[in-house]
Structure 1
Amino acid sequence: MKNIISLLVLGAVAFWLGQQHFRQPENPSPSHTISQQETILSQIRELNQLHSVAFHLQSIIKTEKQGNWFALWQDSQKGLFVAKGRVQAGLDLDKLSAKDIHILPDKVLVNLPPVAILSADLEDIEVFDLKTGLFNVYRADWSVLQTVQAQAKQQIVQQACQNGILQHAQQRSAEQIRQLLRLSNPNVEVYASPQIAACTVK
């Protein structure tokens, strides 16, 4: 008798879970949160343009969404993503004005504006793992990609700055402008700005 009652209870639970799999929850879904992230510098490339330096990075991000009690927490979700992106830094020559150029009898002096982060772009996002609940009965919530994209872009910019992208761009941009101007005037001295711009995307 006890075995029959146990089978009936298990059958009822299995039927209820099956119904929940096809039913949209009435309560709003909890938002995704970033539980862990790590960004790795994978490549530094010098560019022959005013975007003086490009850093290629990988951002490893783990996400987690809490489940709801009415679904026995089977709608919880965990994900592991690897985002690849590129951050470029260089000169904004719109900030170069006449007061930065000094013409002397024997030479020309050029003071460059501060270098800055000019762009940050995600090139690819790979999904390494995405699971819902213990039994994986709920469909994955792919809106998590919006959270991952926003976090990954922020992470690659921060990591690029920690790895010295602005310092690289400061040195490289001064050399680029110096070589360009000396094609027409060998007596040109170019000085990089001692200031470093904030580590944010323009």
Structure 2
Amino acid sequence: MSGTSSSLRSRFKWFFLIIIIGLLSAFAAVKWYQKQQPDIQVLTSDGVLQHIQHLNNLETVAFHIDTVVTSTREGSWNRLWQDQQKGLFVASGRVVAGLNLSKLTPENVSVSKDGKAIHIKLPPVEILSSSLDKTEIYDIQTGLFGLMDIDPQLLSLAQTAARRKIIQTACQSGILELANGNAQKQIESLFTLTQAQITVESAPVPKCA
């Protein structure tokens, strides 16, 4: 009798084990099937706009420029103009251009009804920032016999002139044209995973300041 009871328990254990294995196999099969199914993405104009504006400023090109500037402080008549100061400065700076994406509006973005086509009209590219990394004195004259202290305003005037000059140099080198082309490519790359057809329309390149 005990042998029969032991046999029943053994069969029950095997039956229970088979059920567990079956359930685990079914669960694994469902998970595998879910992984094979592509994610369903619903694209809307508002969603595309928010996705782009999240970047705030899109810096698409940066120029590093070295320039030489002069700065002069005129002498005063009561010192017979012998207190005139003149300096020659070497400045290194950086000019960044790209898109201010806060200027993108809902009218700039359109999505087809089936969500398979996106058209984006970009705002004009612009100079986003300019900065001086360093300004060094190359040569300076501080009045008769060089006995006068350097006027701090001399350096300030040189830095102002240097910022203006590095922007001018960047403009002459085509920074906005390069930024425009890069902006179009970078915006297109944002939506490569959507499998939608992307059309990015660049605005005319504005006059560089």
| TM-score, normalization by structure 2 | 0.66
Aligned-pair distance for 1:80?
0.4
User: Are 2:83 and 2:144, in contact at CA under 8 Å, matched by a contact in 1?
Assistant: no
Tell me whether 1:191 sits opposite 2:175 in the alignment.
Answer: no
Does 2:164 align with 1:154?
A: yes
Match of 1:76 in 2: 84
Aligned to 2:99: 91
Q: Measured at CA, do residues 101 and 70 of structure 1 come closer, stay the same or move farther in structure 2, by a change above 3 Å? A: closer
Unaligned runs of 5+ in 2: 1-56
Question: 1:71-113 CA deviation, whole Å, 9 max, x = no partner?
Answer: 3433111210011111101111111112112223542111111
Q: Which residue of 1 aligns with 2:125?
A: 115
CA distance in 2 between partners of 1:142 and 1:164 (Å): 34
Considering only aligned residues, what root-mean-square deviation do their CA atoms show, in Å? Answer: 1.8
Shift of 1:69: 4.3
Given candidates 185, 188, 191, the residue that maps to 1:175 is 185
Q: 1:54 maps to which residue?
A: 62
Contact 2:118 2:196 in 1 (8 A): no
Give the TM-score, by structure 1 length: 0.68
Cα shift at 1:189 = 1.6
Distance across 2 between alignment mates of 1:69 and 1:189: 66
State whether residues 116 and 198 of structure 1, in contact with CA within 8 Å, keep that contact through their aligned partners in structure 2: no
Match of 1:131 among 141, 149, 159: 141
Q: Percent identity?
A: 40
More helix by share: 2
Instruction: Say which SS state the counterpart of residue 86 (structure 1) adopts.
Output: strand
CA contact (8 A) 1:74 1:135 kept: no
Q: CA deviation at 1:198?
A: 4.4
Identify the residue that residue 36 of structure 1 maps to in structure 2.
Answer: none
Match of 1:102 in 2: 110
Contact 2:71 2:155 in 1 (8 A): no
Q: Which residue of 2 aligns with 1:67?
A: 75
Is contact 2:90-2:137 (8 Å) kept? Answer: yes
Higher percent of residues as strand: 1
CA distances 1:140-195 after superposition (whole Å, capped 9, x unpaired): 212211111111111111111111110000000110010111222341121211x2
Between the aligned partners of 1:134 and 1:144, the Cα distance in structure 2 is 17
CA distance in 2, matches of 1:81, 1:123: 13
The structural deviation recorded for 1:134 is: 4.0
Code of the aligned partner of 1:199: C
Alignment gaps of 5+ in structure 1: 1-48
Deviates more, 1:101-110 or 1:150-159: 101-110
Deviation of 1:126 after TM superposition, in Å, equals: 0.5
Query: What is the letter of the counterpart of residue 135 of structure 1?
Result: F
* Bigger radius of gyration: 2
Partner of 1:30: none
Equivalence for 2:39: none
